[in-house]
Amino acid sequence: MENKESLYLTHNEIYVLLGLIKAPIAFGIDAPFLALSNEEVKKEWEGVIISLRDRNLLGKDEDGEFWIDEDMITSLSVMAYSNVVIQVDSLYKMTSHSTFYVAEEFVIECEKLNNKLFRLQQLDEPNVAIKNVILPRVGLDHKNASKSGILTLPGTFINECIDNKSYLNIDDENVRNLNDSNQSLSLWKDLKKSLNRSERISRMVMYYFTDNNWKVEGVFAVFSPSNNWTLRMIEKDGKEYLQAKQVDLLGLTKEYGAVLERTLKDKDYIISK
């Protein structure tokens, strides 16, 4: 399938267009007008429609019938009705953030360029888009693992570490309480070294709608000169944890695949009926 040209829309434009096609608000798109009065909201809608009309993305035909660009309707409809959503971002200064909305025949990428502007791109079918776009975006690297084993960490660990590197020094006791082997403590020492030297930390989170609820699975990937790591989100006894392990290239792809496989193998999840 040949990918279509990118479409650039503001946050307000996406919200208004979803309203015009009578679609639900897409997962990950916030309502931008909550603090405005009815009159202010009306002006915002009018401004958006004028902007889209000037860019020939909507208008009226010779018979006075209202029309909206068909490719834009397709992209927005997938965003609104997809039951499988994958978010990929870089956690250092949020240098990149993309949300992928999965349909059976293709994937729509919605890349956040700044707080107001998004780039929409129609990609290939899910399996191809995952292999060629999503996984490389999370990160693939050939570094070998030097130790085996799994380290259990608090669920908030990676976010707190990014906010404050000194957190690595005060979390030793929590790690000891969650892990009771010398091997785990050795892994913890190596992970701290990798985090202090990390060149990039990426996150891939998959949201899928089933049984009338959104569920979530995800993995963090830490890339450093010493070792690469994955930290996979798990739930145990009603609490959230991270399972950390050193990985090579095959290990990276296996961890990514474990997050993706459960939902993508069941196409009934993909689009709301």
Q: What is the pLDDT of residue 273?
A: 41
94 pLDDT band (50/70/90 cuts)? Answer: low
Residue 269 has pLDDT above 60, yes or no: no
Q: Which two tokens stand for residue 88?
A: 């990929």
Burial (CB < 10 A; 0-12, 13-18, 19+), residue 212, is exposed
Euclidean distance between CA atoms 2 and 214, whole angstroms: 31
Q: Rounded to whole angstroms, how far apart are CA atoms 43 and 40?
A: 5
DSSP string, the chain: -PPPPPEEEEHHHHHHHHHHTT-PPPTT---TTTTS-HHHHHHHHHHHHHHHHHTTSEEE-TT--EEE-HHHHHHHHHHHHBSEEEEEEE-STT--EEEEEE-SS-EEEEEE-SSSEEEEEE-S-HHHHIIIIIHHHH----PPPS----EEEETTHHHHHHH-TTHHHH-HHHHHHH--SHHHHHHHHHHHHHHHT-SEEEEEEEEEEETTEEEEEEEEEEE-SS-EEEEEEEEETTEEEEEEEE--HHHHHHHHHHHHHHHHT-GGGTB--
- The answer to whether 224 and 198 are in contact (CB under 8 A) is yes
Question: Which span out of 16-25, 173-182, 195-204 was modeled with the highest average pLDDT?
Answer: 16-25
- Angle among Cα 10, 14, 17 to the nearest 5 degrees reads 130
Residue 257 has pLDDT above 90, yes or no: no
In this prediction, residue 64 carries a pLDDT of: 87
Q: Of residues 185 and 42, which shows the higher confidence score?
A: 42
Q: What angle do CA 78, 82, 87 make, to 5 degrees?
A: 100
Residue 24: half-sphere exposure toward Cβ, Cα within 13 Å: 11
In the structure, what pLDDT confidence band is assigned to residue 1 with cuts at 50, 70 and 90? very low
> Mean pLDDT of all residues in the chain?
88
pLDDT tens track for 117-130: 999 999 999 999 99
For residue 96, what pLDDT is reported? 76
b/e per residue, 60-70, with b = 16+ CB within 10 A?
eeeeeeeeebe
Task: Return the CA Rg of the chain.
Answer: 22
Whether residue 14 is predicted with pLDDT greater than 50 in this model: the reply is yes
The domain locations on the chain are 7-138, 151-269
Least confident of 73-77, 78-82, 110-114, 208-212: 208-212
Give CA 149 to chain center in angstroms: 27
CA dist., res. 112 & res. 134, Å (int): 15
Return the minimum-mean-pLDDT range out of 101-115, 170-184, 194-208.
170-184
Share of the chain above pLDDT 70, in %: 90
What are the structure tokens assigned to 37, written together? 């009065």
Residue pair 213/220 in contact (Cβ under 8 Å)? The answer is: no
